[in-house]
Chains A and B, each alone.
Chain A
Amino acid sequence: MAEFTLDCLGEACPIPLMKTEKKLEGLAVGDILIVSIDHSCAMKNIPEWARKQGHNVEIDEVDDGEWEVVIEKTK
C-alpha cells in the first residue's frame, strides 16, 4: 500500500499518459499513484485509459488548470 507520485507538470499529451503507463507497470497491486498534470487533455486520457484497465481513478483539481489523477492499482 505504498503511495507514489509522478510529476508531469508542463508535459503535453501523450507524455503524461505514457509515463503513467510505465510507472504503473512497476507498482504492486494496491499501490497508489498520484500523477500531477497541467495539460487538460491528459486529464481526460489518463483516467480513461486507467479506468479501461480496471483501476480505480479519481481526479482532483488542485488549482486552476492543474490536476492530480489518483490511480489505485487493482490488478
Chain B
Amino acid sequence: MPETGQASSGSSIRRSSTSSRRKPKKNQIPLGMLVVVLMVVVGLVQANREPMLGFYWMMGGVFGFILQKSRFCFTASMRDPCITGSTSVTRAVLIAFAITTIMFTAIKFGYASMGLPVPGMSYVTPISFATAAGGILFGIGMVIAGGCASGTLMRVGEGFFMQILSLFFFVVGSLVGAAHFGWWKEKFIIHGPSVFLPDVFGWVGAVVLQLLIIACLYKAAALWEEKKMGGSED
C-alpha cells in the first residue's frame, strides 16, 4: 500500500469541506512486532511437538501475509471481467497458474524419474458434470460472500466484520458437505474419467500444452479488457 500515510500531502484534487477531520493514527508497528514474536514462539512450540505442525503454521502465516499484501483475490479474477471489464487480477491468477504448473511438474517429474511414487496423485480426481456444477455453485457463493475460501480468511484477519458471517457459514457448509461427500462420490463423482496429463501427452507435452492454454487465456483476458475498458495501461 504505497498510498497510506503521506497520501494527503501531495493532493492535486481540491476538496472543500470533508477533508478536515483527521484523527491521529495509532502506531501499529510495536503491536505487529509482538505478533511476529508470538507467531515464532508458537511455531517453535508446535515444531517441538510435531515438526510438520510448525511447518504448516509458518506456511499459513506466510501465505496470509502475501495474500493480504498482494490483494490476490480469486473471486475478483472471475468477477471483475464481468462487472468492469478489468482483467488485471485474472491475468495475475493465470501467471500464478503458469508458475505452479512448472513447479509442480518439476516436483512430480523429479520423483517419477527416480522411480519413486509421484506425490499428490490423490488430487488427480475424476472429472464429470459434478466438477462443473460444483464450480458454478462455488462461484455464485463466493461472489455473494465477497471472497473465496482464502480471501474470506484473509479478510476476517483484517477485521472486516461482515465476513466473519461468511466464515461461519463457510464452516457450516463445509461440515454438511463433508458429511454427505461419500454419497456424492459414490453416485456421481467416481464415474467420471480421471486424467493425468503427463500420462497422455508425456511430461514435456503436458507442460507445453498447459502453458499454451494459459497463454491463450492470458491473451484473451488482455483483449477482453481492451474491448471493455478501451485500452489497458499496464
Contacts and interface: CB of A to CB of B under 8 A. Distances in A.
A59 B163 CA distance: 23
A1 to B, nearest CB: 9
Contact of B13 (A17, A40, A45, A72): A72
Given A61-B3, A61-B4, A40 B158 contact: yes
B15 A32 contact: yes
User: Is the contact region of chain A dominated by helix, strand, or loop, or is it mixed?
Assistant: mixed
B15 A56 contact: no
A25 interface: no
A64 B28 contact: yes
B15 A65 contact: no
Q: Which of B19, B79, B84, B232 counts the most A-chain CB atoms under 10 A from its CB?
A: B84
Interface in B1-40: 1, 3-5, 7-8, 11-19, 21-23, 25-26, 28
Nearest to A54: B230
Nearest to A55: B13
**What is the size category of the interface that chain A forms with chain B?**
35 or more
**B-side interface mostly:** loop
Interface string A42-75: 0111001101110010111111110010101000
B227 to A, nearest CB: 13
Contact of B8 (A32, A38, A60): A60
Nearest to B73: A41
A58 B11 CA distance: 8
Contacts of B21: 62
B7 A59 contact: yes
Nearest to A56: B13
A37 B163 CA distance: 15
Contacts of A28: none
Contacts of B161: 10
Contacts of A48: 86, 88
Given A12-B160, A70-B13, 12 more contacts: A3-B17, A12-B147, A13-B146, A17-B84, A40-B160, A45-B86, A52-B86, A58-B11, A60-B7, A60-B8, A61-B3, A61-B7
Minimum-distance CB pairs A-B, first 7: A12-B146, A59-B3, A61-B4, A72-B13, A44-B71, A49-B84, A60-B7
24 contacts: A5-B18, A10-B162, A12-B147, A13-B73, A13-B147, A14-B76, A32-B14, A32-B15, A38-B160, A39-B160, A41-B73, A41-B76, A41-B155, A43-B1, A45-B76, A45-B80, A45-B84, A56-B12, A58-B11, A59-B4, A60-B19, A61-B5, A62-B23, A72-B13
